[in-house]
Structure 1
């Protein structure tokens, strides 16, 4: 249904839904950068450099968490609130918040509005999507976000209020609840160690890992799980089954491998004072956080090379579609691998849970992975050339580049140690990783909805392999 109306509706106006989303996120970043560059946004009253404000605003809207300064110690209360709003807007999406404003002022949704919302939620990839359900979906997303963040806030408040007092404790709880669910990786504790000192508390640990996981699996899956709770006869969508299976597999695999790689590392889990249960909890936390939020339980520079490589892979994969994380998405990787297995087994179709996947979707997943790899490798080369004569190792460069692209926010070095030129590359990576490499590329080419220009040429063969 979306494809029937989308092409003519936007061809006349000269702008596609994908382009509106790309420019919408860009507009939020610029407004946020301007506000963060004001003297009132800094604790000492001195204005931030606009470039530093732009980097921080991009990191917030793209829910990454990389920063060139200590947010809790540098920004004033006004600046931290601006940052929190940017994180929330970036987490639930530009069009979701716009839709909420529409509903608050009583404005009716046109077909154009619904198509843009549908595109922002990647709803055209879900088999049972309907345009008439887009507005209701938006309302459900906002309500669900509020409920989850409220629950996480209450859990945090039970621990932070006794630690910091009522006002400071409640404020830290609100900020951390939004940051955790939106998978942003920011904190306002000001000590420079993030959540590390508090993860030994089981309440904080469970609240954080739950918020990261719920935000990472995506709103479609959350809504489908809610329908299952209300109606036991409800059957999960294929998308939900795929996301849950792939996510659980990645968490379990990461848990086992991180525990294996780090259990003898004297700088992380190999210390004599670390009991086995703490080793297991750290490995599980890192397995979840590496694909989504970027909260670190130990300094990332102390990881073994094997753990760093695995973390880079997880950051590149990222979260699931319609979630608050970035990366190329779990379902994209799953379809690409299934496509490879189908070729090896001599099958023409990709079969998943007894269903045949549309070839166009499969090929798109392969294209997204290829574009993501090209994007990342190009950035690694550029940053390596920029930092060639500086004490930045190749492993630190790779870590920072993939962390930016996956909007994870983990760093094995210090982001402030990179030059402005490298940070400009990171801004592009964060932007592309959050908007989506496929949407970002297709928006620039203005071809996503224009199917009339497709021309089929005579078939021929070339040798490969």
Structure 2
């Protein structure tokens, strides 16, 4: 680890190369005959797609996980999900801490980059807490799910299913092993499963910095602006989306229509939470109304909290952009959230992330409409947004993708997990600050 930051490799490049290496190793393991149920080697492209989806905690699959992979293959996928969700640097830091090796300033900078933190202070302590918290939450989730699954399958299998789905859902991956691409549709009106899964999704999507601040709140009695924005925006999105989906799907005979009132509420809540990068579904995606599909695309694009297991442009980016729009409409010079003025650098960064994300989704949608044929345009837009937001929800297009389409989605998932800025910083050379300022220019806008 001492030489992990080689000359010429900035933190962004190391994160990109690290994730790429994990994906390639995972893809190789998934091509082994032992990784499949029938003992026939999976094609490298399908293995690469699966490994990328797992490491980027997406959940899009070209072959059904439960029907295709053996226990060995499923465990490989689970390990990739855990590494991808927490970040390979988290595991490297933990390993070298156990070995008694000192974590240098450069490694701390890399950790700061990985979690989008604002400072290197306390990063090693944060990593230890993250690992402990992850074990506790995933353990509780696995226990609760295993208890419920034990009513439907042998106890040993229920424990395995509980562990797999707890890890997958907490890391916002969306992989399931129920078979036949069914996800959690058979538990749509089961409050125990729905509420447990929703809890894992929300906790995993808040971000570890937020969770750490909540843990320390009893001592500090204060929350940062970041945490306040994440918690408030998340709550607004969950409540608002759940209400709208309930209204949109209430009379849909193929989704919420046949369910009783409790089932309708549970179905609406689950789908109001899951699209922000979890990828599991209790409603058939292909049967949703266009209003719900469009809302789902919107939620997938926003995603979860910075430094979390979730993807998307992040709720803080969305909140800053909305606050900026409101400030402009009101003619205010400053953008303010929770009585704090947002600095110009944050506003510009938010705008860059959002516009970059939109451009990627539009480009991939356009390319999919060329490479894939015979599908509704909404399917292409939905697939591209799901891949960029590392969500994993699909209207059924993923298994039918052509080889070129699969490569496009692999690239999109990779960009979505690392983030457009991280990838951009890794590819381009960042300019040093100019010693002079150029004359101001003006133009008509709007």
Question: How many angstroms apart in 1 are the aligned matches of 2:4 and 2:124?
Answer: 20
Distance 1:114 1:299, change over 3 A: same
Q: How far has the Cα of 1:443 moved from its partner?
A: 1.6
Is residue 349–residue 359 contact of structure 1 (8 Å, CA) maintained in 2? Answer: no
Is residue 251–residue 288 contact of structure 1 (8 Å, CA) maintained in 2? Answer: yes
Question: How many angstroms apart in 2 are the aligned matches of 1:11 and 1:110?
Answer: 10
Q: Which of residues 403, 412, 430 is equivalent to 2:386?
A: 403
Residue 39, structure 1, aligned to residue 24, structure 2? no
Q: How far has the Cα of 1:14 moved from its partner?
A: 1.3
Aligned twin of 1:353:
338
Is residue 328–residue 437 contact of structure 1 (8 Å, CA) maintained in 2? Answer: no
Q: Which of residues 143, 146, 164 is equivalent to 1:154?
A: 143
Q: Which of residues 72, 91, 99 is equivalent to 1:78?
A: 72
Q: Which of residues 413, 418, 439 is equivalent to 2:401?
A: 418
Is residue 10–residue 16 contact of structure 1 (8 Å, CA) maintained in 2? Answer: no
Q: Which of residues 425, 428, 432 is equivalent to 1:445?
A: 428
Is residue 187–residue 282 contact of structure 2 (8 Å, CA) maintained in 1? Answer: no
Q: Which of residues 197, 202, 206 is equivalent to 2:195?
A: 206
Superposition TM-score, scaled by structure 1 size:
0.92
Distance 1:464 1:200, change over 3 A: closer
Q: Identify the range of structure 1 (77-86 vs 217-226) with the bigger mean alpha-carbon deviation.
A: 217-226
Aligned twin of 2:234:
247
Distance 1:454 1:313, change over 3 A: farther
Aligned twin of 1:463:
444
Question: How many angstroms apart in 1 are the aligned matches of 2:255 and 2:5?
Answer: 56
Aligned twin of 2:104:
110
Which secondary structure does the structure 1 equivalent of 2:152 belong to? helix
Which secondary structure does the structure 1 equivalent of 2:341 belong to? strand
Is residue 5–residue 106 contact of structure 2 (8 Å, CA) maintained in 1? Answer: no
Is residue 233–residue 319 contact of structure 2 (8 Å, CA) maintained in 1? Answer: yes
Distance 1:346 1:415, change over 3 A: same
Question: How many angstroms apart in 2 are the aligned matches of 1:419 and 1:456?
Answer: 50
Aligned twin of 1:433:
416
Question: How many angstroms apart in 1 are the aligned matches of 2:308 and 2:435?
Answer: 32
Aligned twin of 1:269:
256
Question: How many angstroms apart in 2 are the aligned matches of 1:98 and 1:10?
Answer: 10
Q: How far has the Cα of 1:161 moved from its partner?
A: 2.7
Which secondary structure does the structure 1 equivalent of 2:391 belong to? coil
Aligned twin of 1:176:
165
Question: How many angstroms apart in 2 are the aligned matches of 1:233 and 1:107?
Answer: 31
Aligned twin of 2:120:
131
Aligned twin of 2:375:
392
Q: How far has the Cα of 1:462 moved from its partner?
A: 2.2
Which secondary structure does the structure 2 equivalent of 1:123 belong to? coil
Q: How far has the Cα of 1:455 moved from its partner?
A: 5.8
Q: Deviations over 1:148-175 (max 9, x none)?
A: 0011011011112342212211111110
Q: Identify the range of structure 1 (290-299 vs 46-55) with the bigger mean alpha-carbon deviation.
A: 290-299
Aligned length, in residue pairs: 444
Distance 1:329 1:106, change over 3 A: same
Aligned twin of 1:221:
210
Please, which runs of 5 or more residues in structure 1 have no aligned partner?
Answer: 1-8, 125-129
Question: How many angstroms apart in 2 are the aligned matches of 1:72 and 1:454?
Answer: 59
Aligned twin of 1:122:
116
Q: Deviations over 1:236-280 (max 9, x none)?
A: 111111001000000011011111111111211123xx1112111
Please, which runs of 5 or more residues in structure 2 have no aligned partner?
Answer: none
Is residue 189–residue 266 contact of structure 2 (8 Å, CA) maintained in 1? Answer: no
Distance 1:88 1:336, change over 3 A: same
Residue 237, structure 1, aligned to residue 219, structure 2? no
Q: Mapping of 1:42-57 within 5 angstroms?
A: 42-57=36-51
Question: How many angstroms apart in 2 are the aligned matches of 1:393 and 1:159?
Answer: 38
Q: How far has the Cα of 1:190 moved from its partner?
A: 2.2
Q: Which of residues 103, 126, 129 is equivalent to 1:140?
A: 129
Question: How many angstroms apart in 2 are the aligned matches of 1:412 and 1:86?
Answer: 24
Distance 1:10 1:459, change over 3 A: farther
Residue 323, structure 1, aligned to residue 308, structure 2? yes
Q: Identify the range of structure 1 (369-378 vs 435-444) with the bigger mean alpha-carbon deviation.
A: 435-444
Aligned twin of 2:365:
380
Is residue 189–residue 264 contact of structure 2 (8 Å, CA) maintained in 1? Answer: no
Question: How many angstroms apart in 1 are the aligned matches of 2:436 and 2:24?
Answer: 39
Is residue 16–residue 446 contact of structure 1 (8 Å, CA) maintained in 2? Answer: no
Question: How many angstroms apart in 2 are the aligned matches of 1:318 and 1:436?
Answer: 12
Distance 1:266 1:138, change over 3 A: same
Distance 1:372 1:42, change over 3 A: same
